[in-house]
Chains A and B, each alone.
Chain A
Amino acid sequence: MGWYLLRRLGAAVIVVLIASVVVFLGVRALPGDPAVVLAGENPTPQVIASIRAEYGLDKPLPVQYLDYLKHLVTGDLGTSTQDKLPVSQILANRIPVTLELAVLAMLVAIVVGVLFGTIAAARRGKFADYTATGFGLLGLSVPHFWLGLLAILLFAVKLRWLPASGYVPFTEDPGQNLERMILPALVLGTGFAAVLMRQTRSAMLGALSADYVRTARSKGLSAPRVVGVHALRNSLTTVVTVLGLQLGALISGAVVTEQIFVIPGFGKLTVDAVLTRNYPVIEAVVLVTVVGYIVVNLLVDVAYAALNPRIRLGGI
């Protein structure tokens, strides 16, 4: 396991390095010169040239990349061109917000998805199965944006149960924090719940027809114990894999959800940075996302191995 982890970490560093080149070139391939964007409505060539010089955009690309890499290894992510704040400070403010949203959305997804998926499989072909599958289809089809607006209109404007938007840090006021995160977490979690529900249902159906379940039943174990302990535990490997694979969808979902609910998270930062051609911020968010992916994949693999001893034995 230790050697396996080391190998994976070495590969991860190479991936991050390759990603940094791709991100660097990708950002510069974006149409629209950031210096022109920053120079405003009446740009003079001199002002544009000064802005380029200030951000080192007048240097050849390889030099720019090496500068970027040099700063990166020292932990300097640069300064946001838009509001002149240090990128590391902006990220430090934004990442916990998105992580909180992601964790809450995942909780919603796991609770709802696994529960509904298990019920649907256990009650296959019955009313509960059709209802759960119907909700799953709805959850997959409804766009986040529309669902978010609908949630705001219903719960904030009509019923006035919850605030429409905004974010209060948990450390500042836990009550207000949760109050403001309920709707975004539900909206973001709905899509994942649907995916998880379908995966859980399918995995559970496979498990319920497996020999070991038949053996468990023949031993006289109760139905909840057979479903909840034996079948579900084996189905969870699929669910965990899906959770890892859904990270990308979670981030893209967070982009939309954070826009609607005005949550100052990572997703909103990404959109704003791209729209304003804020190179240092775009580079930082993409790189952090890549690192996030690698870490999550690593964790998924470890969890996968922990859940299924055969994988460990296989030395995968």
Chain B
Amino acid sequence: MRTRRLVAALAVVPLLLTAAACSGTETSVGKQLTGSAPFDARPVRDGGTLTVGLSQDPDALDPTTANTFVAREVFANMCEKLYDVDENLKIVPQLAAALPKLSDHGRTATIAVRQGLKFNDGTTMDAQAVRTTLVRDLTLPTSSRKSELGAVTSVEVVDDHTVRLHLSRPFAPLAAQLADRAGMIMSPAALRKYGKNFGAHPQCVGPFSFVSRTSGSQIVLKRSPYYYDKAKVKLDRLVYKIVTDANVRSANLQSGDIQVAERLATSDVGTLSADKSLKILPGGGISYQGITINTANVHGTDKKPGKVDTPLAQHPELREAFALSLDRDVINRVVFNGLYDPDCSPLPKNSPYRDPKATCPKRDLAKARRLVKKAGVETPVPVTLSLTADPVSERLGQVIQAMAKEAGFAVKVVPGEFVTTLNQARAGKFDTIQVGWSGRVDPDGDINDLVTSGGSNNYSGLHDPVIDNGVHAAATTDTAQRRALYSKVIAREHELNGIIYLYHERYFLGTAANVAGIRYYSDGIPRFATAGFAK
């Protein structure tokens, strides 16, 4: 046992030395790439095929049932939505003509639909098509959009280009939800033809239309002749190639086999940014990663909370001590080359709903030790940290282990396969777990359901009236009011420490130097409508 500890300690020494070496300064690569993504406006030539390396195989390409992030990347270029976000994460109309008009104290939302639009199968996109899509999202038994559109009770067609949504309660995140998969309008003709198998033949409005899919290998799209803004689209074809290993994705980019690689490993970003034949675009920042502590999840997230028999669950001061033992900046530098955004909030750093005055508590080892002593438990305090078995997560676990040890915690890192680990989290079979959230544009999507009583993703089992009341922030449309309400929720979260937020991930899109016109925003989804090969 002693030998094992020694080996673990020795393994972490180089990591901490690295951290110490770059302590206080941003790494050079980090400094260059932490800004927002530049839009390369060089003119592009007409034609060509752009091959994009995706990190995963998307699930069904059906907006009603799809759940993977990579599916959103493919949808972004063939299934436009009623609304979209711009580079500042502001909601802007896409297939809708304007933002929703609210009336009846926020219980009805009227949406004007753009005129003269056609789906990629040549049929007309109108208010009836919007209704067909939204009704499908609300009624298909396997729909993953139901909870997102939970406040919508019915959809009424006012005229050919206007729909009215009736809501059970005022619901501020509505436009944000319609700026994601719930707002992707599907061709009613294709839905009639393919039904549940729509995902194998998706037809929407978009710059590119679906051609074919070879499961696990590639998805091919071609320039749509029916797109309303087709003059801006230059590429003939867009090919998504599934390359799951980040090193292999980088190698493919370097060899020229693919021209765009999404989500590069932070360990590769330095080397690739030095390569003159490549460009790196930074995006993302709305997702977060943290450590969830099981405080009351005994039988699963869908069951009543109860008493968890671990020191961290029983002693709030130990959770605070654990949080104070961690240095987010060091974690960022050691594990991610300083390329991520250390943070203690679930909201992205550019969110207008963040309290600008709120700061993160710094590492305070003395206070952490005092709190451990105050708890009166035997030291070192045993903590089991479950995480996904991959080199980066395991490295993160080692750093956490080394830091927490100094405050009196003995962290046992347990790597596991992703689905199994998540299963344990839902079932309450864990002490602490390193897990994250892909993030949403509206704060409701980052808070509600993740920390509120009975939320399906509330792995910690938090059940606190202050946090639960914060959900009401979704009922008001006033930004300042919502900001104040969410600030209270996050402050309370810091007191309870059910989740210790660590950082927001950034995504790095590698492209060949001669590729221009890609729009890559904070949501981490590359848009290729205006992309092409530079003239």
Question: Which A residues lie at the B interface, using CB under 8 A?
Answer: 31-33, 36-47, 50-51, 53-54, 80, 82-85, 90, 93-94, 149, 152-153, 156-157, 160, 163-167, 259-262, 264, 268-269, 272, 275-277
Residues A165 and B248 in contact, CB atoms below 8 Å apart: yes
Residues B59 and A82 in contact, CB atoms below 8 Å apart: yes
Residues A85 and B419 in contact, CB atoms below 8 Å apart: no
Using Cβ atoms and an 8 Å threshold, which residues of chain A touch B199?
83-84
Residues A83 and B60 in contact, CB atoms below 8 Å apart: yes
Candidate in A53, A84, A93, A259 with the most chain B CB atoms within 10 angstroms = A84
Surface stretch bound by A, among B113-121, B209-217, B364-372, B403-411: B209-217
Check if B132 is an interface residue, CB within 8 A of chain A: no
Using Cβ atoms and an 8 Å threshold, which residues of chain A touch B146?
44, 46-47
- CA distance in complex: A39, B457 (Å): 12
Interface of chain B, main secondary structure: loop
CB closest chain-B residue, reference A40: B67
Partner of B248, one of A42, A260, A269, A276: A260
CB closest chain-B residue, reference A180: B257
User: 18 new A-B pairs (CB below 8 Å) besides A39-B144, A152-B248?
Assistant: A31-B423, A32-B420, A36-B423, A37-B419, A38-B67, A40-B66, A47-B141, A83-B61, A83-B199, A83-B215, A152-B255, A157-B255, A160-B255, A164-B255, A165-B257, A262-B243, A276-B59, A276-B419
Give the B interface residue count (CB, 8 A): 54
CB closest chain-A residue, reference B66: A40
Residues B420 and A83 in contact, CB atoms below 8 Å apart: no
When A and B form their complex, what is the total count of cross-chain residue pairs whose Cβ atoms lie within 8 Å? 140
Residues B217 and A41 in contact, CB atoms below 8 Å apart: no
What 1/0 flags go to B418-451 for Cβ under 8 Å of A? 1110111010000000000110000000000100
Using Cβ atoms and an 8 Å threshold, which residues of chain B touch A157?
251, 254-255
Residues B144 and A84 in contact, CB atoms below 8 Å apart: no
CB closest chain-B residue, reference A160: B255
The answer to whether residues A269 and B247 also contact, given A39-B144, A41-B457 and a CB cut-off of 8 A, is no
Using Cβ atoms and an 8 Å threshold, which residues of chain B touch A261?
248
CB closest chain-A residue, reference B250: A157
Check if B359 is an interface residue, CB within 8 A of chain A: no
- CA distance in complex: A53, B142 (Å): 10
Q: Which of B125-162 contact A (CB under 8 A)?
A: 141-144, 146-148
The answer to whether residues A90 and B215 also contact, given A42-B144, A82-B57, A152-B251 and a CB cut-off of 8 A, is yes
- CA distance in complex: A260, B254 (Å): 15
CB closest chain-A residue, reference B219: A83
The answer to whether residues A156 and B142 also contact, given A83-B57, A84-B197, A264-B215 and a CB cut-off of 8 A, is no
Residues B59 and A36 in contact, CB atoms below 8 Å apart: no
Residues B241 and A32 in contact, CB atoms below 8 Å apart: no
Question: Would you list 8 pairs from A and B whose C-beta atoms are within 8 A, ordered by A residue?
Answer: A47-B141, A80-B215, A82-B215, A83-B199, A84-B197, A156-B257, A164-B257, A275-B417
Residues B200 and A275 in contact, CB atoms below 8 Å apart: no
